[in-house]
């Protein structure tokens, strides 16, 4: 028997009736100012520059309450699957957390360099607009030693995910990831967010 130790749990699901969420985003997206982050160069466009002292919560700023509720719903599913017991499920009903959120826009030639989200407990992305071919999200292995031998090499390979409208993904904030270059003529827009728990176990 082989036991898989130290797994990195990635959550993904298609949001039920995601067209409703997209409708609400449609109504406010023209209020978003997209710009490059200076120190990153012309990699992709963001709705915030992450300057110190800013709230960086575009969901709250635009009043996207249905989006917030849907993220909370999937967040609790993710937490419950991670812990797998009813006791923690009851605890999560009282868990409070802060959210930072922003829109990302990828035009032709745009990409996201490999990075992590610092001290965020959980990070996530919701795909609002995509043609499924405009740049895969990819994760790199947190265990750099897996590639040192042929036995474990395949466990250290880069894992890629194709974007799809209505899909939400959740993953540890410390997990390094990036986005492949958009080589299509279409523009992709996604909503990224970080979760910071106020009361940790």
The answer to whether the CB of 102 falls within 8 A of the CB of 124 is no
The answer to whether the CB of 10 falls within 8 A of the CB of 77 is no
Burial of 137 (0-12, 13-18, 19+ CB in 10 A): buried
User: What's residue 53's pLDDT?
Assistant: 58
User: What's residue 13's pLDDT?
Assistant: 97
Residues 13 and 100: their CA atoms lie apart, in Å, by 21
User: What's residue 48's pLDDT?
Assistant: 85
The answer to whether the CB of 166 falls within 8 A of the CB of 127 is yes
Would you give per-residue pLDDT tens digits along the chain (201 residues)? 888 778 899 999 999 999 999 999 999 999 999 998 888 888 999 998 676 556 689 999 999 999 999 999 999 999 988 876 554 454 555 578 999 999 999 999 999 999 999 899 999 999 999 999 999 999 999 888 888 888 888 778 889 999 999 999 999 999 999 999 999 999 999 999 999 998 655
In tens, the pLDDT along 145-161 reads: 888 888 888 778 889 99
DSSP H stretches of helix in 29-64:
58-61
């Amino acid at each position: 028997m082989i036991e898989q130790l130290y797994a990195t749990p990635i959550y993904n699901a298609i949001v039920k009736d995601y067209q409703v969420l997209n409708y609400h985003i449609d109504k406010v997206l023209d209020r978003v100012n997209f710009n490059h982050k200076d120190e990153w160069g012309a990699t992709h466009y963001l709705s915030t520059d992450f300057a110190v002292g800013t709230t960086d919560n575009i969901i709250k700023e635009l009043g996207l309450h249905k989006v917030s509720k849907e993220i909370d719903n999937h967040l609790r599913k993710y937490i419950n699957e991670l812990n797998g017991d009813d006791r923690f499920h009851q605890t999560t009903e009282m868990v409070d957390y802060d959210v930072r959120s922003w829109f990302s826009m990828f035009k032709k030639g745009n990409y996201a360099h490999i990075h992590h989200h610092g001290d965020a407990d959980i990070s996530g992305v919701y795909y609002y607009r995509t043609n499924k071919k405009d740049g895969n999200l990819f994760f790199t292995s947190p265990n750099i030693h897996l590639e040192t031998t042929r036995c474990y090499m395949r466990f250290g390979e880069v894992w890629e995910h194709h974007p799809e409208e209505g899909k939400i993904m959740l993953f540890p904030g410390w997990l390094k990831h990036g986005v492949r270059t958009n080589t299509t003529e279409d523009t992709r827009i996604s909503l990224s967010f970080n979760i910071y728990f106020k009361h940790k176990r």
